[in-house]
């Protein structure tokens, strides 16, 4: 499984309030949430994002409240993968569980710049920066986590494995 797109780049400690402000939590509809994704730090994001695009950030991405709405909003906006130096613990879990691929890679977080064309191979964890002609090694997902992502989340994965 691979993802490919152009990059939106952010810094340290992007918290879940910034990803989806609490004022929009009166719905859990993914498309509705996606309309406000990143609004408070990047008003241009929702206007520019194309299906397949990739988000890259530095340390502690997704810190703060444990709302599952945050990865849902990012995924529904069309983002195919989030790469960061580190993720906050519960965000990491929630992202995988709703089927949003995320990857930790310090080198990629440092070197990739906004607008770069990037390809991610989830089987190997290799991140290719096409614009800069560089590759970075992220941690590959073990098979069962790839299956969760492929099934579009943990609950669908369980459902699929049942039948």
Partner 1 sequence: MGMTMTQKILAAHAGLPSVKVGQLIQADLDLVLGNDITTPVAVKEFAKSGIKEVFDKSKIAIVPDHFTPNKDIKAAEQCKCIREFAYEKGIENYFEVGEMGIEHALIPEKGLVVPGDVVIGADSHTCTYGALGAFSTGIGSTDMAAGMATGKCWFKVPAAIKFVLTGAPMGWVSGKDVILHIIGMIGVDGALYKSMEFVGEGLQNLSMDDRLCMANMAIEAGAKNGIFLVDDKTLAYVKENSTKPYTVYTADEDAEYEKVYEIDLASIRPTVSFPHLPDNTRTIDEVGDVKIDQVVIGSCTNGRMEDLRVTAKILKGKKVAKGVRVIVFPGTQKIYLQALREGLIEDIVEAGVVFSTPTCGPCLGGHMGILAKGERAIATTNRNFVGRMGHPESEVYLSSPAVAAASALTGKITNPEDIA
The terminus-to-terminus CA distance of the chain in angstroms comes to: 23
- 19/69 Cα distance (integer angstroms): 9
Taking the least distance from each CB to partner 1, the nearer of 8 and 16 is: 16
Would you call 9 helix, strand, or coil by DSSP?
A: strand
Q: How many CB atoms lie within 10 A of CB 17?
A: 15
Closer to partner 1 by Cβ: residue 112 or 148:
148
Question: Residue holding tokens 């290719």?
Answer: 128
Choices 4-12, 47-55, 124-132, 149-157; region in contact with partner 1 by CB under 8 A = 149-157
Closest CA to 103 of 74, 82, 78: 82
CA dist 67 and 105 (Å) reads 24
Among the listed ranges 29-37, 81-89, 106-114, 129-137, the one in contact with partner 1 (CB under 8 A) is 81-89
In this chain, which stretch among 32-40, 47-55, 116-124, 148-156 interacts with partner 1, using CB under 8 A? 148-156
- Residue numbers 54-73 binding partner 1 by CB under 8 A: 60, 66, 68
Partnered with residue 55 across adjacent β-strands are: 8, 82
- Beta carbon nearer to partner 1, 16 or 128: 16
Q: How many residues lie near partner 1 (CB under 8 A)?
A: 26
Site residues (vs partner 1, CB under 8 A): 60, 66, 68, 86, 88-90, 92-94, 96-98, 139, 141-142, 144-145, 148, 153-155, 158-159, 162-163
């Amino acid at each position: 499984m691979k993802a490919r797109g152009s990059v939106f780049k952010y810094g340290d400690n992007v918290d879940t309030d910034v990803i989806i402000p609490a004022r929009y939590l009166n719905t859990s509809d993914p498309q509705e949430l996606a309309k406000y994704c990143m609004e408070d730090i990047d008003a241009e994001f929702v206007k520019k994002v194309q299906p397949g695009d990739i988000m890259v950030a530095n340390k502690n991405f997704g810190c703060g409240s444990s709302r599952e709405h945050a990865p849902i909003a990012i995924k529904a906006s069309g983002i195919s993968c989030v790469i960061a130096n580190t993720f906050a613990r519960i965000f990491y879990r929630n992202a995988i569980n709703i089927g949003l691929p995320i990857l930790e890679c310090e080198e990629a977080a440092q070197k990739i710049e906004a607008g770069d064309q990037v390809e991610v191979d989830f089987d190997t964890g290799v991140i290719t920066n096409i614009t800069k002609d560089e590759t970075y090694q992220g941690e590959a997902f073990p098979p069962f986590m790839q299956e969760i992502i492929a099934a579009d989340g943990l609950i669908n994965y369980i459902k699929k494995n049942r039948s």
